[in-house]
Amino acid sequence: MDETPPPVLLVEHILPGVALFRINRPEAKNALNMAVRQALASSFAQAAKDKSLRCIVLTGDENSFAAGADIREMVDVSGIELYQRHNERLWAAIADCPLPVIAAVNGFALGGGMELAMHADIIVAGQSARLGQPEVKLGIMPGAGGTQRLVRAVGKFQAMRICLTGDLFTAANALNMGLVSAVVPDDETLPEALRLAAQIAAMPPLAVGLIKEIILQGADIPLAAALTLERKGLQFLFGSSDKQEGMQAFLEKRKPQFTGC
């Protein structure tokens, strides 16, 4: 009998230019143990080098996107051990991914799971999704952007409420706060994420890459510098074949054929 455990992350090239990463620990609500984090880091790093890819969709299952870091695995970890693990290097592989990432969130996105979703560029949530940063209830605090990405996304007063109470909130609340991009019926979450991914995958890749890079970089620097960055990105794209093709196709009333050059 085959005793090999199932992979904790399923990777599939599901549509032309689109990879689907599916966290696969249903027995633990997709809690992020070290194996999942390492698999995520190496899959994102690999995808970043794959010239055939244009977009990544990241998901869990119908019950849970990810219920946070694995508490069983953390309970006996000391502060020094945690420091020496340098988990930030694993998260960096996701944060630094040059391809657009769409999170399709059904069920729980808690703690490290919500932080993982916040690494994405677009979040599509199912109407029954429950999000939250419950770390405070465990005597700890968020450590992968759950205070910092969150405050930048929703502002001080919502971020404080979420992190200080640890209360879970609904997808509709998240949409009101600007924390997710769309809320859809639960069975539409992945299809909608894939539809967006296919749409983005058909766009000129240089423009897509620069838009992602400049929105993210620009958000953390003074406005004047960010606007310069934006202008330089636009000027750079004016030198691309895809700019010529996009504009020519519009004028000739035909579909553009982008090549990524």
CB of 62 to ligand CO8, least distance (A): 13
Of 219, 240, 243, nearest in space to 230 by CA? 219
From candidates 9, 19, 20, 31, binder to ligand CO8 by CB under 6 A? 31
User: What is the spatial distance between Cα 198 and Cα 194, in angstroms, rounded to a whole number?
Assistant: 6
Which amino acid is located at 85 in the chain? R
Nearest to ligand CO8 of 28, 174 (CB atom): 28
Asked if residue 69 binds ligand CO8 (CB under 6 A), the reply is: yes
User: What is the spatial distance between Cα 176 and Cα 195, in angstroms, rounded to a whole number?
Assistant: 23
Nearest to ligand CO8 of 100, 134 (CB atom): 134
Asked if residue 170 binds ligand CO8 (CB under 6 A), the reply is: no
CB of 111 to ligand CO8, least distance (A): 3
Q: What is the DSSP string of 140-204?
A: ----SSTTHHHHHHH-HHHHHHHHHH---EEHHHHHHHTSSSEEE-GGGHHHHHHHHHHHHHTS-
User: What is the spatial distance between Cα 73 and Cα 70, in angstroms, rounded to a whole number?
Assistant: 5
From candidates 8, 53, 67, 102, binder to ligand CO8 by CB under 6 A? 67
Of 207, 198, 197, nearest in space to 247 by CA? 207
Residues annotated as catalytic (active site), given as ranges: 69, 112, 115, 135
Taking residues 107 to 136 in sequence order and writing x for each that binds ligand CO8 by CB under 6 A, - otherwise, the string is -x-xxx---------------------xx-
Binding site for ligand CO8 (CB under 6 A): 28-29, 31, 67-72, 74, 77, 82, 87, 108, 110-112, 134-135, 138, 140, 143
